[in-house]
Structure 1
């Protein structure tokens, strides 16, 4: 086990920068927002901590890459930001998105994110990925496949038993594909991956500063250790890209959880043709809600 612990000055520079223009921008933030973000470089912070690597198979060890501080994010010439004309995020099932992208994204789309139950392999040298996104194309995809407990069982129904050759436009091979029970744990894992991939589309690279949603994950255990929240450095990046009040954002997240407080924790297994709104089980979000409430206390001092 290894802990990646940066110095107070390194984290402060990664968050605020030494560029006078960016320092000035930071100083214009709401006092509560500065107070929360300054927790990034407080050695005794109870909200944000250092990254811990548990094995050589963890992402940072397996996929070395340069860290991205706020100044590098801000100066990235390939970074895209939403506009009044392109501000919508579309979520499509993978069958639909592949057909859809052959034509074009909707005119008002900032990005399109596909979801699938098919296991994803970007190249032969990789074991799998939970998701992948293209910064330049505004397109992302993530898979539920490994989030259901049945994936690792011998009777997993999603395994392809016989190689079949089909055209690129034929999706019949996925008919009656396995769909897991929608538990609160599966929902939590899916929210993490979806938010992580959309973060990439907004220009956020993998985080190597503090425990953060934008950390890479190389296996399910590492993905589960990753928090649902952004560290202050990545939070400032996202706020710069979109523009929002952190207080209002966190209050909205608490409302989202509370609205489903009485929803049953597990839904029955669904068929591909099931209709209607699915329940939103949130038991697994309890710890995260408590964390948000602590942040709101700091923001509203």
Structure 2
């Protein structure tokens, strides 16, 4: 490969050895080097050729000028977790696409690059975790299982979605499977029959939420039960529940969790977040709208990525950013940053450009069903990313 892709040692730790990848892929992954070159960057700085924008603030800085720049860049500063909502969802479709969307929004914190999970850290962790199964002659497992848990309302089970780009009409769980097929291309995704917790031998602790008086399951009780129900050829299993989950007795709600030790996880989407619950204004979910669909696809892919060993990301605005609320989770992209994408690509073995080209018409069809800003922006982002990968520009 050309010298443009010769990486210093620190960048190899961050992103891994790119020498065996096609140059088009190397160019995209090599954008991650900007994580290492932030000493003099300012909030709002843009690299127009590479579509990198600096959007987050060092946690120790708080002067009014920096705060104003953050506001202009649509950045939300959290005292505990540096996060951002840098997507300009109000921009007109008629504006030049290259001026509207940056490929990646770079997070700036006062932490060293290795504070977040580098590729080398991820690879060492996952290589060790799969060593024992291989030594036991079980071979590499490449199937993801989706496990619906308990019943779902009729507007979920009777829903149909016309996704022409992916073969026609899908029911709700078929749509989720199709999304997972594309997102984790190279793996096989299978949908398991619904399981009734009460009728099964699963021992899942439950309680009534103190405000909503709705049933909640203790999330950690699902891990081993899901692991036991996973077929022997499964790499991981993700449960989907309409019933709320809670992580500890002191905490009131969790959207979803994944446990790498058991290769299992579960998430729920049946009600709005209990901590915002107001009995005078609250209404239960009675239909699948765009906001709900976006939330479901976001959480499903995020939690499954955890089962591939990916930890929360502090490098870019990324699908693997940590979130502490539904609103925060919904503000984050559904796409992985270069560092996290490299980890998933290394495991699944997909061609990045081919994957994005399959994802584009799929999300375009969904955006026609639910034309909300999140899906419309995702379609624009994919177009720009594909254009960048296919362009002749070099990253040096």
The TM-score, its normalising length taken from structure 1, stands at 0.70
Could you tell me which residue of structure 2 aligns to residue 69 of structure 1? 118
Structure 2 unaligned spans of 5+ = 1-6, 35-45, 57-74, 84-110, 151-194, 203-224, 392-396
Could you tell me which residue of structure 1 aligns to residue 143 of structure 2? 88
Q: Deviations over 1:89-113 (max 9, x none)?
A: 2222223275473753112222111
Contact 1:132/1:197 (8 A) holds in 2: yes
More strand by share: 2
| Bigger relative contact order (CA 8 A; separation at least 6) | 1
Could you tell me which residue of structure 1 aligns to residue 320 of structure 2? 214
Larger Rg: 2
Contact 1:15/1:70 (8 A) holds in 2: no
- Of 89, 109, 122, the match for 2:234: 109
Contact 1:133/1:197 (8 A) holds in 2: yes
Q: How far, CA to CA, are the matches of 2:373 and 2:121 in structure 1?
A: 37
Could you tell me which residue of structure 1 aligns to residue 78 of structure 2? 55
Q: 1:112 and 1:157, CA in 2 relative to 1: closer, same or farther beyond 3 A? A: farther
Structure 1 unaligned spans of 5+ = 1-10, 159-177, 266-280
The TM-score, its normalising length taken from structure 2, stands at 0.54
Contact 1:48/1:231 (8 A) holds in 2: no
What is the number of residues matched between the two proteins? Answer: 248
Runs of 4+ in 1 over 6 A off after TM superposition: 11-14, 81-85
Q: How far, CA to CA, are the matches of 1:67 and 1:299 in structure 2?
A: 26
Contact 1:17/1:70 (8 A) holds in 2: yes
Q: 1:18 and 1:114, CA in 2 relative to 1: closer, same or farther beyond 3 A? A: closer
- Of 289, 292, 295, the match for 2:379: 289
- 1:1-301 to structure 2, matched below 5 A, reads 16-17=12-13, 22-23=16-17, 26-42=18-34, 44=47, 45-46=50-51, 49-51=54-56, 54-56=77-79, 58=81, 66-76=115-125, 77-80=127-130, 86-95=141-150, 96=195, 99=200, 101=225, 103-147=228-272, 152-154=277-279, 179-260=285-366, 262-263=368-369, 265=370, 284-301=374-391
Offset of residue 86 of structure 1: 2.9
Could you tell me which residue of structure 2 aligns to residue 171 of structure 1? none
Q: 1:224 and 1:260, CA in 2 relative to 1: closer, same or farther beyond 3 A? A: closer
Q: How far, CA to CA, are the matches of 2:82 and 2:250 in structure 1?
A: 15
Offset of residue 40 of structure 1: 2.5
